[in-house]
Amino acid sequence: MKPILSRHIWTAFFTLSTLIFQATLAIAQDKPKPKPIIDVHVHAMKVNPNFSADLCPWFLSSMPGSIPGADAPSFINTDCARPLKAAKSNEEFQQKLMETAERLNITFVASGDAEILHRWKNAAPERVVPSIGVSPGMSVQAFEDSLNNGFYQVMGEIAPQYQGMSPADMTLDEYFGVAEKLGIPVGIHMGTGGNGMANLTSPKYRASMGNPFLLEDVLARHPKLKIWVMHAGYPMIDEMIALMGANAYVYVDLAGFIWSYPLEEIHMYLRRLVQAGFGKRILYGTDLMMWPELLETSIGVIENANYLSEDQKRDIFFNNAIRFFNWDPKKFE
């Protein structure tokens, strides 16, 4: 090849590469934002580096047994191709969470540590909807004052099951009364807790206190209360369906079990809810703790549910939450 010709070829090649590069850049800049997703179940927590271990999703595929007096069976495992990395500091957790929320266009309802919650809200006011629980010893008046100051827009996670208590226990009743009066939606933990919860960390935990039917008295006492059942009352599908059938304003979220139980089991449960006609009452949620990649893991479960139509997926990811919380969809565009 003559040198002069080769120079022309190189010039042409570089011009072409530049054009391709510019076109790619233009496409990247024009790339529309992903469709909005609302995650109704995120935990704002301080990361303790000593307890922040990596995790394999769907780790409850095996529930090892043990015997009293022996070591408690391990709860979480890392025996998979690519365990999800746990954040090692509050800063890393926040930075990765916000980066993912921005990239995937996620707005999330978060409850937990007040200091962390304020930091998150300051960092991304449009992405974070603060939620308040009933902390031990908090008076009804203090609870109402907290809601009235405007920072908190949701009540949850309320988890009496870990105390072996029914959600209908009268010690909670006045708090629900406040939420009903102020039109604040309430998320109540019902159902799953993981393998050996009563032996490992929560001796008062009672599986029976996760029965969705226990909400009937709460709903009867507070007919205007907006309740969603966190973890969809897993695994009590029949009771869940019966409760939703009897109470048109009750919704469920998919948090926790969506990334911890065996995939087939998750799809069986979700499919049954949709099959029973409740596709408009399912909220997307993760139960996100210190593993930011759980956001993508959990979205993937819904995306891959081949028994759901695209419309049904959008309902779960977004439309149902908009209806339940009574939000303006335009604010999420």
Q: Under the rule (CB under 5 A), what is the footprint of Zn ion?
A: 189, 230
In the complex with Zn ion, the residue whose CB is nearer, 301 or 308, is 301
Smaller CB distance to Zn ion: residue 189 or 206? 189
Report the alpha-carbon distance of residue 299 to residue 230 in Å, rounded: 17
| Least distance between Zn ion and beta carbon 133 (Å) | 11
**In the complex, least distance from residue 231 CB atom to Zn ion, rounded to whole angstroms:** 6
β-strand 186-189 against 227-230: which pairing, if any? parallel
Spatial separation of the C-alpha atoms in residues 42 and 129, rounded to whole Å: 10
Q: 160 or 292: whose CB is closer to Zn ion?
A: 160
Q: Which is nearer to Zn ion, 84 or 230 (CB)?
A: 230
**Distance in Å, CB of 189 to Zn ion, minimum:** 4
Q: Which CB, 189 or 226, lies closer to Zn ion?
A: 189
Tell me which amino acid residue 137 is: G
The strands making up 282-283's β-sheet, listed across from edge to edge, are 37-44, 106-112, 128-132, 154-158, 186-189, 227-230, 251-253, 282-283
CA distance 92 to 90: 6
Q: For the residues of 239-254, what is the DSSP string, one character each?
A: HHHHHHHH-TT-EEE-
* Residue closest to Zn ion (Cβ): 189
Strand pairing category for 106-112 and 282-283: unpaired
Question: Cα-flanking dihedrals φ and ψ of residue 89, to 5°?
Answer: -150, 165
User: Helix, strand, coil % (nearest 5) of the chain?
Assistant: 50, 10, 40
Cβ nearer to Zn ion, comparing 189 with 313: 189
Please tell me what DSSP assigns to residue 315. I
At its nearest, how many Å lie between Zn ion and the CB of residue 145?
Answer: 25
Q: How far is the CB of 255 from Zn ion (least distance, A)?
A: 7
Smallest distance from Zn ion to CB 314, Å: 25
